[in-house]
Amino acid sequence: MAASATAARVRAAVAVATDVLLEVSGLTRSYTMAQAYEVHALRGVDLTVRVGESLAIMGPSGSGKSTLLHLLGLLDRPTAGTYHFAGVDTARLGDDHLAKLRNRAIGFVFQSFNLVAGESALENVAAPLVYAGVRRRERLDRARAALDRVGLADRLHHDPSQLSGGQRQRVAIARALVARPALLLADEPTGNLDSSSGADILGVLAELHAEGLTTITITHDPRIAAHAGRTVHVSDGLLS
């Protein structure tokens, strides 16, 4: 399926609030380690997430929750099972089309921010639009709007080193939003923040969800999970 057709399917699906955004069935992921030792990170996960839902995926370190995030975010492929994103069977997409779908439909927020030092907040936020082929003027306009949306309109030209941890995470959220994704994936988004900054970031995520954005948060902290509308648990590669 062409990337443009895939993107159209995604846009059509997210336009209807009752539609399923993503559905996985029997998802497994195994890794072969040294001396042919096999690790089963996921052992058959079934999960459905509807458009506009707020989901928390909980689990301790090593439970498989980060592996699940990578699969849901199209950063990795499963060993077995199926994953449909907005009705599109992702197994049928080549690597190039998969990358384009990921860039256009999924925003990521990581614990470590992953901002580029030496580039302004505005440049960091605009960066994903380069790969989407958006012209520079529109890239910058959309980046400004995204930074304004997270309360950083007065920090456009600051380097990440000039920002607090909470502000850097807001920049990361703005970067995740700039492509207008259907899904926001947040991996331990408050893990590197103090309690006050963490609460602010949870407030931003709650506002985005209230505006209709589908959000999935990966966390080990029940206090973070409590902010989601639904929580599932990963343990030993299984979902409950």
Per-residue pLDDT of 32-81, as tens digits, reads 877 667 888 999 999 999 999 999 999 988 899 989 999 999 999 999 99
Q: Read off the pLDDT of residues 145-185 as tens digits, 9 standing for 90 and up.
A: 999 999 999 999 999 999 999 999 999 999 999 999 999 99
Q: Which residue has the tokens 């030209």?
A: 157
What is the pLDDT, as a whole number, of residue 149? 92
What is the pLDDT, as a whole number, of residue 61? 85
- 216: how many CB neighbours lie within 10 A of its CB? 25
**Superfamily classification of domain 3-239:** P-loop containing nucleotide triphosphate hydrolases (3.40.50.300)
Question: What is the arithmetic mean of pLDDT over 79-108?
Answer: 93
d(CA 131, CA 193): 30
Domain ranges of the chain: 3-239
pTM to 2 decimals? Answer: 0.88
Whether 14 shows a pLDDT value over 80: the answer reads no
d(CA 143, CA 117): 17
Whether 18 shows a pLDDT value over 50: the answer reads no
Q: Which of 180, 132, 182 is nearest to 9 (CA)?
A: 182
What is the pLDDT, as a whole number, of residue 35? 67
Q: 47 vs 26, 208, 232, CA distance in Å?
A: 9, 22, 9
Q: How far is C-alpha 167 from the chain's CA centre?
A: 18
Residue 1 banded pLDDT, cuts 50, 70, 90 = very low
Q: Read off the pLDDT of residues 191-233 as tens digits, 9 standing for 90 and up.
A: 889 999 999 999 999 999 999 999 999 999 999 999 999 999 9
Whether 10 shows a pLDDT value over 80: the answer reads no
Beta strand extents in the chain (DSSP E only): 20-32, 38-50, 54-58, 80-85, 88-89, 106-110, 183-187, 214-219, 230-235, 238-239
Q: What share of the chain is helix, strand, coil (3-state, %, to 5)?
A: 40, 25, 35
Q: Which of 227, 230, 224 is nearest to 188 (CA)?
A: 224
What is the pLDDT, as a whole number, of residue 172? 95
What is the pLDDT, as a whole number, of residue 30? 93
Residue 131 banded pLDDT, cuts 50, 70, 90 = confident
Q: Which of 195, 113, 109, 203 is nearest to 160 (CA)?
A: 113
Q: Which long-range contacts (CB under 8 A, 24 or more apart) does 161-164 make?
A: 161/117, 163/121, 164/197
Q: Which residue has the tokens 């890794």?
A: 31
Are the C-beta atoms of 165 and 192 separated by less than 8 Å? yes
With both helix axes pointing from N to C terminus, report the angle between 195-210 and 165-177 in degrees, rounded to the nearest 10.
Answer: 20
If one compares 3 and 219, the residue with the highest pLDDT of the two is 219
